[in-house]
Amino acid sequence: MIPRADVACLAIIALGACTTTPTRPPSEFLQPLDLVCKPQVAGSEELIFHVIPGGDGDAIVVRMNSTELEDFSTHTYENALTWSNGKESFAVDRMDGKLVRKPSGDVYQCVRRGRRVF
């Protein structure tokens, strides 16, 4: 479990306002993770996104299932992560794990695999 001070620090690190020294080594917060997203409608495929977080609170989505994402942009927000491959866009809420895929409007429930912090 991450100490409360570390959670608060991670939540505001993008603002540069954190002065608390994390008790966990920084390398733990830079390890990649997978978002495993199950569709809420039967018949849709499960999606697995490989995410590489940056030291400044940003993250890059580099793969969807087994396809490398070449033409995409990623934006990180305090409560969400959004990315686009030029044809589709994805937005996942960091608090409840709900992912919305546009333009189809498909909704998925995601869980993280590979690290504690998303």
DSSP string spanning 53-96?
Answer: E-TTS-EEEEEETTEE--S-EEEE-SSEEEEE-SS-EEEEETTT
Given this model, what pLDDT does residue 82 score? 92
Q: pTM of the full predicted structure?
A: 0.67
H or E stretch covering 11: helix 4-12
What pLDDT sits at residue 61?
87
CA distance 52 to 26: 14
What is the total residue count of the chain?
Answer: 118
d(CA 107, CA 38): 9
Looking at residue 59, its pLDDT comes to: 80
Going from the first residue of the chain to its last (118 residues), give the mean pLDDT of each consecutive group of 10, the final group possibly shorter.
43 42 47 90 89 77 85 81 87 93 94 69
pLDDT on residue 101: 93
Q: Is 28 helix (H, G, I), strand (E, B) or coil?
A: helix
pLDDT recorded at residue 118: 52
